[in-house]
């Protein structure tokens, strides 16, 4: 793999598993990459998107036509590296312009070995993915690209997202502590399935000391930190493979410890309650998705990144092993389940991203709801 230079005219081609191909120019590293093609509608926040571990093994298509305008800084990443397996943009910034910019996005992608493509008609590509669904894709760049038939065969050999068990590939191997900001009020054990940096920060802001534990943590390890609450993070892959986190969560529910889950964590709560999960046709990825909190009736604009969802009845309370459960939040675009809550135990989760990195802060109250559950348990 060689590094490209800005304004590179090196040819590149993107090949979808159904045979459709788009030609463009190399962007970031020159070479080849594979993944699941998905699109994000966020017009800002590309650094947070690129470094969100939930995007592991996905090639992200940006629907916003101009990407890289504000460059790259060392403050905004959500983890220590870029996780997307490939990046597709229409018109990259020729020169970033922002007071915080330290380098260009093209340079950063190249330095981290992330293969991208620019000059693609991303509107046509997005419409294709919307009509046909998310699918495998390959990006190939360089001066000697093989013929499309050869490339297509290679794309079709790449692993699918359905059935992928990826949390252990992205999660921390060692436990670490994020200290409370100000007076410490609570201790939370956070199971890292691909956690974004902003999530423990949002808890720390509320006086929570967060013990981030590896995805493989046992119930004993969780309770060894004497938690007031347990948190299950976002993460990549197919929730139907997440058997260990589901078993762990069931142990937490049995003990009636306050529990909060985000995204993958919501899918795990769904499974722990006995609901199924399924793959959405093309998922929700962006920072302007309308969600209704059915417990208050309020509509919030929210950040999303999910390709799977929980299959739970919208209009009835379900009887589960852990008492009554209901769908607390729903996406107003397509009625997909966006949150769950238990009525007889202190546990809830949302499918979207209240940590808002990037995105609107409408859903920040969910961290306060978690604090209230922990306060309630102490009273
Ligand atoms: N951000 C997440 O946690 C994503 C969860 C899961 N990997 C999905 O795609 O639905």
Residue among 53, 192, 239 whose CB has most ligand 1 atoms within 8 A, to mutate: 239
Q: Which of 268, 280, 219, 262 is nearest to 242 (CA)?
A: 268
Packed helices 243-254 and 264-272: angle between N→C axes, nearest 10 degrees = 70
* Structural domain ending residue among the three candidates 155, 181, 199: 155
pLDDT value of residue 379 = 78
How remote is the CA of residue 95 from the centroid of ligand 1, in Å?
A: 33
Domain count, the chain: 2
110: domain CATH number is: 3.50.30.20
Give the C-alpha separation, 13 to 120, whole Å: 9
pLDDT value of residue 7 = 56
Cβ atoms of residues 269 and 245 within 8 Å? no
Q: Which domain holds residue 121?
A: 2-155
pLDDT value of residue 92 = 96
Q: Is 160 a member of any domain?
A: no
Phi, psi of 84 (to 5 degrees): -55, 145
pLDDT value of residue 378 = 83
Give the C-alpha separation, 278 to 60, whole Å: 21
Q: Which of 232, 233, 239, 215 is nearest to 308 (CA)?
A: 239
Cβ atoms of residues 214 and 173 within 8 Å? yes
**Is 188 in the same domain as 308?**
yes
**Is 46 in the same domain as 134?**
yes
3-state secondary structure of 356: coil
Cβ atoms of residues 290 and 280 within 8 Å? no
| Angle, alpha carbons 166-172-173 (nearest 5°) | 100
- Please give the chain's pLDDT, 379 residues, in tens: 444 444 579 999 999 999 999 999 999 999 999 999 999 999 999 999 999 999 999 999 999 999 999 999 999 999 999 999 999 999 999 999 999 999 999 999 999 999 999 999 999 999 999 999 999 999 999 999 999 999 999 999 999 999 999 999 999 999 999 999 999 999 999 999 999 999 999 999 999 999 999 999 999 999 999 999 999 999 999 999 999 999 999 999 999 999 999 999 999 999 999 999 999 999 999 999 999 999 999 999 999 999 999 999 999 999 999 999 999 999 999 999 999 999 999 999 999 999 999 999 999 999 999 999 999 998 7
pLDDT value of residue 309 = 98
**Is 151 in the same domain as 249?**
no
**Is 109 in the same domain as 230?**
no
How remote is the CA of residue 96 from the centroid of ligand 1, in Å?
A: 31
* Residue 355 annotated as catalytic: yes
Cβ atoms of residues 112 and 22 within 8 Å? no
* Structural domain ending residue among the three candidates 126, 155, 184: 155
Residues in the chain: 379
State the DSSP string of 225-263: T--SEEEE---SS-GGG-HHHHHHHHHHHHTT--EEEET
Dig out the tokens for 20 from the structure.
């459709």
**Is 150 in the same domain as 276?**
no
Cβ atoms of residues 190 and 209 within 8 Å? no
Give the helix/strand (H/E) hosting 122: helix 122-132
Contacts of 264 (CB under 8 A, 6+ apart): 54, 167, 193, 194, 232, 233, 234, 235, 236, 237, 239, 242, 245
Q: What is the ipTM of this complex?
A: 0.98
Q: Is the pTM of this model over 0.95?
A: yes
* Structural domain ending residue among the three candidates 104, 129, 155: 155
Q: Which of 240, 293, 230, 297 is nearest to 262 (CA)?
A: 230
**Is 208 in the same domain as 112?**
no
**Is 106 in the same domain as 230?**
no
Residue nearest to atom 7 of ligand 1 (CA): 236
Q: To which residue do tokens 């598993």 refer? A: 17
Q: Which residues are annotated as a binding site for L-glutamine?
A: 54, 235, 237, 264, 267, 305, 307-308
Binning the chain into helix, strand and coil, the percentages to the nearest 5 are 25, 35, 40
Phi, psi of 60 (to 5 degrees): -95, 125
* Residue 209 annotated as catalytic: no
pLDDT value of residue 57 = 98
């Amino acid at each position: 793999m060689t590094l490209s230079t800005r304004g590179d005219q090196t040819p590149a081609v993107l090949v979808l598993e159904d045979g459709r191909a788009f030609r463009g120019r190399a962007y970031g590293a020159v070479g080849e990459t594979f993944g699941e093609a998905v699109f994000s509608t966020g017009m800002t926040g590309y650094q947070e998107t690129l470094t969100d571990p939930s995007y592991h093994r996905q090639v992200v298509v940006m629907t916003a036509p101009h990407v890289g305008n504000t460059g790259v800084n060392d403050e905004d990443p959500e983890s220590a590296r870029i996780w997307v397996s490939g990046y597709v943009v229409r018109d990259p910034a020729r020169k970033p312009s922002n007071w915080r910019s330290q380098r260009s996005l093209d340079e950063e992608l190249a330095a981290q070995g992330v293969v991208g493509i620019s000059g693609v008609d991303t509107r046509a590509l997005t419409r294709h993915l919307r009509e046909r669904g998310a699918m495998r894709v390959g990006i190939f760049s360089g001066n000697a690209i093989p013929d499309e038939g050869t490339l297509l065969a290679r794309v079709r050999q790449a692993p699918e997202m359905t059935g992928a068990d990826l949390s252990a590939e992205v999660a921390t191997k060692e436990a670490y502590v994020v200290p409370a900001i100000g007076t410490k009020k609570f201790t939370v054990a956070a199971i890292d399935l691909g956690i974004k940096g902003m999530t423990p920060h949002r808890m720390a802001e509320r006086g929570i000391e967060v013990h981030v534990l590896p995805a493989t943590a046992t119930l004993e390890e969780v309770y060894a930190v004497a938690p007031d609450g347990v948190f299950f993070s976002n993460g990549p892959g197919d929730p139907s493979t997440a058997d260990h986190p589901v078993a762990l969560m069931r142990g937490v529910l049995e003990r009636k410890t306050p529990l909060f889950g985000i995204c993958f964590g919501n899918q795990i709560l769904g499974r722990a309650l006995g609901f199924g999960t399924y793959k959405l046709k093309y998922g929700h990825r962006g920072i302007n998705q309308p969600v209704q909190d059915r417990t208050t009736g309020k509509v919030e604009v929210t950040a999303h990144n999910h390709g799977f969802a929980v299959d739970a009845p919208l209009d009835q309370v379900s009887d589960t092993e852990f008492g009554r459960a209901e769908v607390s939040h729903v996406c107003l675009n397509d009625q997909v389940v966006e949150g769950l809550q238990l009525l007889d135990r202190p546990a809830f989760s949302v499918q979207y991203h209240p940590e808002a990195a990037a995105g609107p802060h409408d859903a920040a109250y969910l961290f306060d709801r978690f604090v209230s559950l922990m306060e309630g348990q102490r009273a």
